[in-house]
């Protein structure tokens, strides 16, 4: 087929579609919504996946997080409430992990305390994190100003602290926080550094820091040396509930273990579990492995994508069947025209080209409108449902390509049917 | 020179157990520039003969030489090519394509022969002027009278300068005035040495032709020169 014929065929197709504007529009809608839903669903799927991965990446994929959990109460067995319960990770645990696990790069012990931080008349509820200087190796900490805790701080049990970026304006109105003093439960700590928010691995789970902070009503984190926290904060936390008074003794809330590479995460997990089980007679710890969470999130996302993709594919196929149906109706309506064209010298392949061109034009136009619509849906999803979406160029091209394939697949049969009609009978057709 | 030469051509249809002969061993030759009328009662095989002459159908037996080329053995694609190039059809009901305007209708046979748009539009313009529709080239068929539509159809039939013009009751749908105009155009084409084959019931049309062939029961009953 030469270029004139191609141009003529396309022009002819457009003319025929324009003659039946309403019909063409309605037929195209199936493809429009199919393509739009493919794009929207890919965008939502990719957004969910990226969000999950980002959340897990904050925890660090080569990290293992050992957390203190409250063991199940055994008061029913003994028949009396224990006045003081002692459980959780200990300094000994941290020491053992550092000394006996060969694959461990660093092991970072963490204590967490809830307290009020004050500066002059300003006050904020904060999470006090007692930790060691190499905390920075397991958390993607970004220093905004000053410095992080140093080994001198740790060694000398100095009363210094590093505060969250978001905490700065809460406690200090106009001054630079660096060098100022913050009062946390009767002790004064000198602010030596500011770190950016969202760099907190200690909040655990897959939720982002902002969410965790807003849930617990905590304005931000304050990091102090572990040694200082040991000497200034008691191990004991009192509960004054309806069932009477009870005290809990917890030495460490977390030990974050870092291994050199992803491959060593799972073996280390097993060894760590064995080691801690030997040291603990109660199930008062749990090990969170971000890498496993990541894998799980990937699996979930894949299932999510498959489900969404199937729905979109079904809607495209339904759209394609709609097009095929209309094209068959068009062919039978234009039987006489086909007969005339055949008498005037059109070969079968000319007729195939003519009807295939019409179907392809329909699906391409539908594809283009679908791309526009499909690019807007994720925008509204993000705006109103607050879900992250990622629209990629390749997903647009994929959806457009699929619409073309649908056009070809569902256009071939009607075109073939048109071409193979008997010219004599077609000419006689009313 | 003979442009149409048919030797012992038969066309049969099988209806269940019965074999129906639409044409029985017809021999016919028509020379260049002849104006031939084909007459006969319905069922005599006129339409079958016209379809075979127009290469829309293939004979069951016998040979058909169109312009010295044996077309009875050609495949569908080659036959389509021959139809477009060597034959001009004029139908009773005009058979213009409704969504195309006068120019585009005339250009259609040239489009299928692969002419460039500039060549075919120049030729179409010329033909439109020739049939007296030079002013109406942008009109749609629905905006034209029956006589005008048939004139467009004649222009379209002439587009590729065919060897044979086949007309099937060309004035059947027209009033007598328009019909007379169409017949004058056919006379003029005859004067220009075009080969015309007209199927008709109308004795007055047949009277204008040089030769009248009467068909009966699938055979040539009489073949007379006027």
Q: What is the DSSP string of A397-425?
A: HHHHHHHHHHHHHHHHHHHHHHHTS-HHH
Band (B161; pLDDT cuts 50, 70, 90): very high
* Strands annotated E in chain B: 2-15, 18-31, 35-39, 61-66, 69-70, 87-90, 164-168, 195-199, 211-216, 219-225
User: Is B153 inside a domain boundary?
Assistant: yes
Number of domains in chain B: 1
| Token digits of residue B126 | 């010329």
User: Is B17 inside a domain boundary?
Assistant: no
**To the nearest 10°, the Cα dihedral for A48, A53, A58, A62?**
160
pLDDT value of position A424: 92
User: Is B197 inside a domain boundary?
Assistant: yes
Give whole-number Cα distances, B137 to A231, B20, B170, in Å: 102, 45, 21
Q: Which of A73-77, A337-341, B172-176 has the lowest mean pLDDT?
A: A73-77
pTM of the model: 0.72
- Does B115 contact chain A (CB < 8 Å)? yes
pLDDT value of position A216: 57
Band (A119; pLDDT cuts 50, 70, 90): confident
Contact A346 B84 (CB under 8 A): yes
CB pairs under 8 A between A and B: 69
Residue A400 has pLDDT above 90, yes or no: no
Residue A425 has pLDDT above 50, yes or no: yes
Name the closest residue on chain B to residue A424, using Cα atoms. B56
pLDDT value of position A197: 65
User: Is B64 inside a domain boundary?
Assistant: no
Distance from CA of A10 to the nearest CA of B (A): 13
**Cα-based angle A299, A106, A165 (whole degrees, multiple of 5):** 80
Instruction: Collect all residues of chain A within an 8 Å Cβ-Cβ radius of residue B45.
Output: none
pLDDT, tens only, A35-67? 898 888 888 888 888 888 887 777 777 888 888
pLDDT, tens only, A261-313? 888 888 888 888 888 888 888 888 888 888 888 888 888 888 888 888 888 88
User: Is B66 inside a domain boundary?
Assistant: no
- Kindly report the backbone phi and psi dihedral angles of residue A269, in degrees, each rounded to the nearest multiple of 5, phi listed first: -55, -45
Contact A345 B99 (CB under 8 A): no
pLDDT, tens only, A70-97? 877 655 455 455 577 788 888 888 888 8
pLDDT value of position B8: 93
**Residue B105, domain CATH:** 3.40.50.300
Name the closest residue on chain B to residue A348, using Cα atoms. B77
Residue A352 has pLDDT above 50, yes or no: yes
Summarize chain A as % helix, strand, coil (round to 5): 55, 20, 25
pLDDT value of position A74: 56
Residue B52's CB: how many other CB atoms inside 10 A? 24
| Token digits of residue A105 | 């790069």
Contact B56, B83 (CB under 8 A): yes
**CB within 8 Å of chain B, chain A residues 12-41:** 15-16, 19
Q: Which domain holds residue B147?
A: 34-59+75-225
User: Is B1 inside a domain boundary?
Assistant: no
Contact A344 B112 (CB under 8 A): yes
Contact B111 A8 (CB under 8 A): yes
DSSP secondary structure letters along A150-188: -HHHHHHT--EEEEEGGGHHHH-SSS-STT-EEEETTEE
Residue B87 has pLDDT above 90, yes or no: yes
Band (B88; pLDDT cuts 50, 70, 90): very high
Residue B73 has pLDDT above 90, yes or no: no
Element (H, E) at A116: strand A106-119
- Does B13 contact chain A (CB < 8 Å)? no
pLDDT, tens only, A213-253? 444 567 788 999 998 888 888 777 766 666 666 777 888 88
| Token digits of residue A171 | 């406690």
User: Is B204 inside a domain boundary?
Assistant: yes
Distance from CA of A11 to the nearest CA of B (A): 11
User: Is B178 inside a domain boundary?
Assistant: yes
Contact B56 A19 (CB under 8 A): no
| Token digits of residue A336 | 């006489």
Instruction: Collect all residues of chain B within an 8 Å Cβ-Cβ radius of residue A4.
Output: 111, 114-117
**Which of B51, B98, B112 minimises the CB distance to A345?**
B112
Name the closest residue on chain A to residue B77, using Cα atoms. A347
- Does B88 contact chain A (CB < 8 Å)? no
Contact B114 A2 (CB under 8 A): yes
The ipTM, to two decimals, is 0.95
**Cα-based angle B191, B192, B196 (whole degrees, multiple of 5):** 75
Q: How far is CA A333 from the centre of its chain?
A: 52
Q: Are strands A187-195 and A160-164 parallel, antiparallel or unpaired?
A: parallel
Mean of the per-residue pLDDT values for chain A? 84
- Does A334 contact chain B (CB < 8 Å)? no
Distance from CA of A374 to the nearest CA of B (A): 34
- Does B170 contact chain A (CB < 8 Å)? no
Instruction: Collect all residues of chain B within an 8 Å Cβ-Cβ radius of residue A13.
Output: none
Contact A259, A60 (CB under 8 A): no
d(CA A353, CA A24): 18
Distance from CA of A360 to the nearest CA of B (A): 20
**Which of B57, B95, B111 minimises the CB distance to A424?**
B57
Provide, rounded to the nearest whole percent, the portion of chain A with pLDDT above 90.
23
**To the nearest 10°, the Cα dihedral for A172, A176, A180, A183?**
20
Distance from CA of B110 to the nearest CA of A (A): 9
Summarize chain B as % helix, strand, coil (round to 5): 35, 30, 35
């Amino acid at each position: 087929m030469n270029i004139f014929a191609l141009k003529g065929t396309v022009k002819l197709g457009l003319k025929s579609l324009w003659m039946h504007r309403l019909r063409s529009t309605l037929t195209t809608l199936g493809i429009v919504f199919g393509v739009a839903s493919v794009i929207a669903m890919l965008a939502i799927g990719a957004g969910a996946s990226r969000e999950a991965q980002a959340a897990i990446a904050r925890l660090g994929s080569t990290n293992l997080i050992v957390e203190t959990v409250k063991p199940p109460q055994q008061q029913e067995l003994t028949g009396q409430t224990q006045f003081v319960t002692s459980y959780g990770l200990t300094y000994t645990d941290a020491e053992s992990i550092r000394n006996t696990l060969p694959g461990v790069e660093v092991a970072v012990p963490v204590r967490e305390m809830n307290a009020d931080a004050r500066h002059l008349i300003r006050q904020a509820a904060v999470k006090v994190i007692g930790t060691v200087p190499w905390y920075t190796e397991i958390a993607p900490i970004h220093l905004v100003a000053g410095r992080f805790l140093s080994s001198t701080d740790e060694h000398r049990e100095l009363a210094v602290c590093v505060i969250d970026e978001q905490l700065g304006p809460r406690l200090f109105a106009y001054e630079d926080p660096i060098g100022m003093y913050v009062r946390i439960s009767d002790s004064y700590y000198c602010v030596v550094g500011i770190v950016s928010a969202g760099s907190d691995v200690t909040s655990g789970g897959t939720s982002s820091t902002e969410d965790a902070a807003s849930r617990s009503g905590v304005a931000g984190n304050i990091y102090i040396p572990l040694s200082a926290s040991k000497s200034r904060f008691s191990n004991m936390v009192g509960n004054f509930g309806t069932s009477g008074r009870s005290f809990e003794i917890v030495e460490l809330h977390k030990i974050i273990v870092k291994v050199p590479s992803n491959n060593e995460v799972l073996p280390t997990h097993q060894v760590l579990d064995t080691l801690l089980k030997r040291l603990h007679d109660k199930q008062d710890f749990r090990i969170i492995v971000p890498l496993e969470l990541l894998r799980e999130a990937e699996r979930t996302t894949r299932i999510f994508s498959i489900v969404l993709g199937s729905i979109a594919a079904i809607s495209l196929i339904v759209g394609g069947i709609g097009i095929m149906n209309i094209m068959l109706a068009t062919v039978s309506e234009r039987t006489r025209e086909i007969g005339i064209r055949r008498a005037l010298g059109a070969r079968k392949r000319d007729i195939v080209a003519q009807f295939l061109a019409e179907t392809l034009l329909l699906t391409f136009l539908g594809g283009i409108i679908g791309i526009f619509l499909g690019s807007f849906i994720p925008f509204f999803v993000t705006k109103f449902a607050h879900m992250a979406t990622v629209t990629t160029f390749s997903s647009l091209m994929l959806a457009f390509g699929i619409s073309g394939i649908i056009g070809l697949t569902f256009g071939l049969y009607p075109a073939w049917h048109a071409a193979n009609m008997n010219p004599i009978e077609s000419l006689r057709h009313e | 020179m003979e442009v149409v030469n048919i030797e012992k051509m038969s066309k049969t249809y099988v209806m269940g157990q019965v074999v129906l002969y639409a044409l029985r061993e017809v021999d016919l030759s028509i020379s260049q520039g002849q104006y031939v009328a084909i007459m006969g009662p319905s069922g005599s095989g006129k339409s079958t003969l016209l379809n075979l002459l127009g290469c829309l159908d293939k004979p069951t037996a016998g040979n058909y030489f169109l312009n010295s080329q044996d077309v009875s053995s050609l495949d569908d694609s080659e036959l389509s090519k021959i139809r477009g190039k060597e034959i001009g059809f004029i139908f009773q009901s005009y058979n213009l394509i409704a969504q195309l305007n006068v120019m585009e209708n005339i250009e259609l046979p040239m489009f299928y022969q692969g002419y460039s748009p500039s060549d075919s539009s120049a030729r179409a313009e010329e033909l439109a002027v020739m049939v007296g529709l030079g002013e109406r080239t942008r009109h749609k068929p629905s905006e034209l009278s029956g006589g005008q539509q048939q004139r467009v159809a004649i222009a379209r039939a002439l587009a590729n300068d065919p060897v044979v013009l086949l007309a099937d009751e060309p004035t059947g749908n027209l009033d007598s005035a328009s019909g007379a105009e169409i017949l004058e155009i056919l006379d003029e084409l005859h004067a220009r040495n075009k080969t015309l084959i007209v199927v008709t019931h109308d004795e007055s049309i047949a009277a204008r032709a040089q030769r009248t062939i009467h068909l009966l029961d699938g055979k040539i009953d009489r073949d007379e020169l006027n």
